[in-house]
Amino acid sequence: MSFNKYKNIADVLQEFPITYSERNFIEQIPIEIDPYFQNRLNFLLQEGVIFNSEYAICESIIYPILVEVWRNYADKLLLWSHQALNYDENLSGIPDYMIAQRSPRGKVILEKPYLIIVEAKKDNFEEGWGQCLAELVAAQKINGEENSRLFGIVSNGKLWEFGFLQAVDFVKNVKYYVLDDLQALMEAVNFLFNASFEQVK
């Protein structure tokens, strides 16, 4: 069984003792957007075919935004793309992106704790959150530390939703962020990276 067997949040809640709630927890942290990055993104949006598949959304929108924010935290955090995450036969698969602690042994080692899981979905946010929450549960079990806060992102490129899993509580941010307001979106992503950075010893 892989993460994609979970079609919505309720599927995960039925299998694991997790409570679900919604509230706004994102506190936008200012970030300066590099003009080169902004121009390149604008070019892709105007000239590229980028919303035709999840792969195109990943490569053209989600990954560049994650990289732009991650650059500020690269001394402690590492961004992984399409790396296997396996806890057991029910919790295994390949998230689109993961942010984890940078290993002192080098960047080729996927080091605990895992901190942020990102799932790209072309249209279906309900299914995206089912997969993302299952991935967060797997990451939490692998980390072996329930009290830390693991963040999740589900995005179709244009719209970004955020949540976190801490102990047995999954909280989804009520407010969502949109690509059209890139500044606010990147400040929200920056909040997740900053909070993750602070959890790394």
Taking the C-alpha atoms of residue 179 and residue 165, their distance in angstroms, rounded to an integer, is 24
One pLDDT digit (tens) per residue for the chain, 201 residues: 588 899 999 999 999 999 999 999 999 999 999 999 999 999 999 998 989 898 999 999 999 999 999 999 999 999 999 999 999 988 999 999 999 999 877 777 777 888 989 998 888 999 999 999 999 999 999 998 777 899 999 999 999 999 999 999 999 999 999 999 999 999 999 999 999 999 886
Q: Is the peptide bond before 113 cis (omega within 30 degrees of 0)?
A: yes
Q: What is the pTM of this model?
A: 0.95
E strand or H helix at 81, and its extent?
strand 77-81
Taking the C-alpha atoms of residue 165 and residue 21, their distance in angstroms, rounded to an integer, is 11
Taking the C-alpha atoms of residue 139 and residue 124, their distance in angstroms, rounded to an integer, is 23
Structure tokens at 70: 């991650």
User: CA angle 152-33-25, nearest 5°?
Assistant: 30
For residue 169, the model assigns a pLDDT of 97
For residue 1, the model assigns a pLDDT of 53
Taking the C-alpha atoms of residue 58 and residue 53, their distance in angstroms, rounded to an integer, is 9
